[in-house]
Amino acid sequence: MILDKHNRNHNYLRISLTEKCNLRCEYCMPAEGIPLLPAAKLMQANEVFAIAKTFVEMGVNKIRLTGGEPLVRKDFNAILRSLATLPVELAISTNGVLVDKHLAVFKESGLQKINLSLDSLQPEKFAQITRRNDFKKVTENLELLLHQGFHVKINVVLMRGFNDDEIIDFINFTKTRNVAVRFIEFMPFDGNAWNREKMVPLAEILETAKTAFGENLIALKNHKNDTAKNFKIAGYAGTWGVISTVTSPFCSGCNRLRLTADGKIKNCLFSNQEMDLLSALRENKPLENLIKTAVWGKHAIRAGMDSPEKFQDESLNQDNRSMIAIGG
Element (H, E) at 116: strand 113-117
Give the pLDDT score at 176.
Answer: 97
Whether residue 4 lies inside any domain: the answer is no
Give the pLDDT score at 248.
Answer: 84
Whether residue 3 lies inside any domain: the answer is no
Q: Report, as ranges of residue numbers, the positions in the chain whose pLDDT lies below 70.
A: 30, 189-194, 317-320, 328
Number of structural domains the chain divides into: 1
Q: For 99, which DSSP code? A: G
Give the pLDDT score at 297.
Answer: 92
The percent of residues in the chain predicted with pLDDT above 90, rounded, is 73
Instruction: Give just the sign of the alpha carbon dihedral 263, 98, 116, 211.
Output: positive
Whether residue 5 lies inside any domain: the answer is no
Whether residue 233 lies inside any domain: the answer is yes
Contacts with 78 (C-beta within 8 Å, 6 or more apart), sequence order = 45
Give the pLDDT score at 138.
Answer: 97
This prediction has a pTM of 0.92
The answer to whether 95 touches 132, Cβ cutoff 8 Å, is no
Whether residue 1 lies inside any domain: the answer is no
Nearest to 70 by CA among 119, 114, 132, 131: 114
Question: 126-154: per-residue pLDDT in tens?
Answer: 999 998 999 999 999 999 999 999 999 99
Whether residue 31 lies inside any domain: the answer is yes
**Which domain does 240 fall in, by range?**
12-326
CATH number, domain containing residue 197: 3.20.20.70
The answer to whether 57 touches 7, Cβ cutoff 8 Å, is no
Whether residue 7 lies inside any domain: the answer is no
Give the pLDDT score at 271.
Answer: 85
The answer to whether 161 touches 198, Cβ cutoff 8 Å, is yes
